[in-house]
Structure 1
Amino acid sequence: MSPTIFGILADGRQVRRITLRSGGLRAQILTMGAIVQDLRLEGVAHPLVLGCDRLEGYLGPARYFGAVVGRFANRIGGARFTLDGREYRTDPNFRTRHTLHGGTQGTDLMLWTVESRAEDRVSLTLQLADGHMGFPGRMDMTAQIWLAEDALNLTLAATCDAPTPCSLTHHGYFDLDGAGDIRNYALMIAADHYLPVDDDLIPTGQIAPVEGSAFDFRAPRVIGQAGYDHNFCLSDGPRSLRPVARLTGESGLALQVETTACGLQFYDGAYMDGVPGLDGRRYGPHAGAALETQHWPDAPNRPAFPDAILRPGQIWSETTRYRFLQ
């Protein structure tokens, strides 16, 4: 099926929607932000992800929903970092003093180019200029998105022409039951440590054990109302693809997350409020769970965290698989 026009930006550029199919899965991908706009599983009557029927939602209250965010996902404290002896100041788009998801004009709002597509997959590319949002170096990125019967797969890759922070992630929200509340879902995360944060959600620098805390999801348990927006430390660097988390709805439908990344940001959607969603839904607090595979937040300012600097001649690449289990 040929791409269709999903919406038109204020400057007249078209945002196109691409349909992917494989087995019982069907996905809708937007050229803006490489957004997974909709995801359906045969036999399940509701969308599996939170999304919007209209482009305006992604430009407003649903910003980041389903998008590839970067060039550095999550937060950089103080909107600054020092690299090779030079200080860089980045766009302070979070509470006017920190950088979130690459800045005001992050990859989620940019039009990606379709390099290739088939019935079950699409490859999209994007280039960020040297100095974009204050970050050094030109960055060339590729997002490969494909379906494999029971799974949504993403391989994100990047190269650069100068040393620069690099962490891309798929910022999807999942709702397995379609009821708009994930607090009674069971969650397992294979992490012995997590990153405590301050009042601005910036890591304190401590790498804390989960044992004995509300962050211990090593055995599946109900999410509850603790208010999660934290990085779970999966490893001290990239690994081969392995299962790292499982989310199970009250219906019994489960989502297994497999990734090569060293971190997993779990956000329980506590601050959603009246977001216009798919099929006429309105998303309120806890309507979906974000399970973002990525580098640890604020890593450019934390030498004790895994290295998040991409250098010329290197290829940064991470793969994540979201597998649905019935």
Structure 2
Amino acid sequence: MTQPVEDFITLDGGDGLKAVFSPAGAQLVALYIPTRSGGPVQTVIGSSGRLDAPDGDGWAGTICGRYANRIAGAGFTLDGVAYKLPANDGTKQLHGGASGFGHLAWQGEKAGGQVVFRLDSPDGDMGYPGALGVTAAYGFDGHTLFLEMTATTTRPTVVNLTHHVYWNLLGKGDILGHLLQIPASRYTPVDADKIPLGPLAEVVGTRFDFRDKRPIAGPYDHNFVLDAGRGALHLGARAIEPVTGRALEVWTTEPGIQLYTGEHFTPAIKAPFSEQIKNAGFALEPQTFPNAPNEPSYPSAVLRPGETYRHRIEWRFSGF
């Protein structure tokens, strides 16, 4: 199944900002920002806008769930009940499985100056308990693109929704020279399968110390433990393209953020609004921690009936 271009939804933010979305994974396909020279630059990398595109990146630009990132052993225990999930990354489940939210067609429409997507995930979907009702609303507020995600469940379950957009503030080339700052004093070390080892580690004296801005360099595919924790909207990361001065801040209500430097990108990955080379884009994925359902010391990912999961992400642009 492919997603026809006619289904793309465009939202004009004014002042030269414009976003293009697809119901395929509630995907951000393109984001144009103004430049000092006047012409816009397209900053989203690798989003195909289609489902099951054989030449596309299956996660780029999508909302990942029901549980974003990795769950060790493709399973977890909740309230004394063991749940087995279908593995799609070796022995692990990644981003909710082969039919996770980023690989599903959402219902989308323009409403009240926003683009609102909805998805109903049935009880047992990809092994998870509870019927989940999910809403994702994108909109502009000045030079900020925001995403408000909510979910409710009919049974106790685990939820971790994130957005897997890849950015390149220059719009071309690689991103290794972008400057990056992450307000995180700790990170989650991982094993060879990229599963967190449990205890948190200090970033001081390591290549994971982005408390002061420095070039991304890479490679990275790691979760950073934000000093602000979970709760009120807070800064998750700041990126600056040093030649043009264009800047992006990622704000979140979640306690962690995953940095991935696009090691897998090649020209074989096709997208309607960008070209790919290795390290063509960086992903900054706000989230709770990978494998949290199996690590009691990590921030909880449990959602129960009567509660509402809420996660707000803001991408704040400047320098133009």
Q: Which category describes the TM-score, using the shorter chain as reference length?
A: over 0.9
Q: Name the counterpart of 1:50.
A: 45
- Is contact 1:58–1:65 with CA below 8 Å preserved after alignment? no
- Is contact 1:39–1:48 with CA below 8 Å preserved after alignment? yes
Q: Which of 167, 180, 197 is the equivalent residue of 1:187? A: 180
1:256 and 2:249 are equivalent in the alignment: yes
Q: Please give the secondary structure, in 2, of the residue aligned with 1:200.
A: coil
Q: Please give the secondary structure, in 1, of the residue aligned with 2:63.
A: strand
1:18 and 2:13 are equivalent in the alignment: no
Q: What root-mean-square deviation, in Å, do the aligned CA atoms of Structure 1 and Structure 2 show?
A: 2.0
* Letter paired with 1:108: G
Cα deviation 1:130-169 (Å, max 9, x = unaligned): 1111111111100010112311100111000111110001
Q: Name the counterpart of 2:61.
A: 66
What CA distance in whole angstroms lies between the structure 2 residues aligned with 1:53 and 1:63?
Answer: 8
Give the alignment of 1:1-326 within 5 angstroms: 9=1, 16-23=7-14, 24-43=16-35, 44-52=39-47, 55=50, 58=53, 60-95=55-90, 97-114=91-108, 116-118=110-112, 120-225=113-218, 227-235=219-227, 237-250=229-242, 251-274=244-267, 275-279=269-273, 281-326=274-319
Cα deviation 1:243-302 (Å, max 9, x = unaligned): 2210011321010111111110010111222222344x5312110010001111100000
* Letter paired with 2:57: A
How far is 1:218 from its partner?
Answer: 0.4
How far is 1:54 from its partner?
Answer: 6.2
How far is 1:113 from its partner?
Answer: 1.5
**Runs of at least 4 residues off by over 4 Å:** 12-15, 56-60
Q: Please give the secondary structure, in 1, of the residue aligned with 2:10.
A: strand
Q: Are the structure 2 counterparts of residues 58 and 238 from structure 1 closer, same or farther at C-alpha, using a change threshold of 3 Å?
A: farther
What CA distance in whole angstroms lies between the structure 2 residues aligned with 1:200 and 1:138?
Answer: 30
Q: Are the structure 2 counterparts of residues 52 and 265 from structure 1 closer, same or farther at C-alpha, using a change threshold of 3 Å?
A: closer
Q: Name the counterpart of 1:3.
A: none
Q: Gaps spanning 5+ residues in structure 2: where? A: none
How far is 1:57 from its partner?
Answer: 7.4
* Letter paired with 2:13: S
How far is 1:78 from its partner?
Answer: 0.7
Q: Name the counterpart of 1:4.
A: none
What CA distance in whole angstroms lies between the structure 2 residues aligned with 1:175 and 1:204?
Answer: 31
How far is 1:304 from its partner?
Answer: 0.7
- Is contact 2:168–2:175 with CA below 8 Å preserved after alignment? yes
What's the TM-score once normalised by structure 1's chain length?
Answer: 0.91
What CA distance in whole angstroms lies between the structure 1 residues aligned with 2:56 and 2:136?
Answer: 24
How far is 1:41 from its partner?
Answer: 1.2
- Is contact 1:161–1:311 with CA below 8 Å preserved after alignment? yes
- Is contact 2:48–2:56 with CA below 8 Å preserved after alignment? no
How far is 1:110 from its partner?
Answer: 1.2
Farther off after superposition, 182-191 or 51-60: 51-60
- Is contact 2:121–2:131 with CA below 8 Å preserved after alignment? yes
Aligned residues with identical type, % of pairs: 38
Farther off after superposition, 53-62 or 165-174: 53-62
What CA distance in whole angstroms lies between the structure 1 residues aligned with 2:307 and 2:55?
Answer: 35
Q: Are the structure 2 counterparts of residues 221 and 14 from structure 1 closer, same or farther at C-alpha, using a change threshold of 3 Å?
A: closer
What's the TM-score once normalised by structure 2's chain length?
Answer: 0.92
Q: Are the structure 2 counterparts of residues 319 and 56 from structure 1 closer, same or farther at C-alpha, using a change threshold of 3 Å?
A: closer
- Is contact 2:51–2:105 with CA below 8 Å preserved after alignment? no
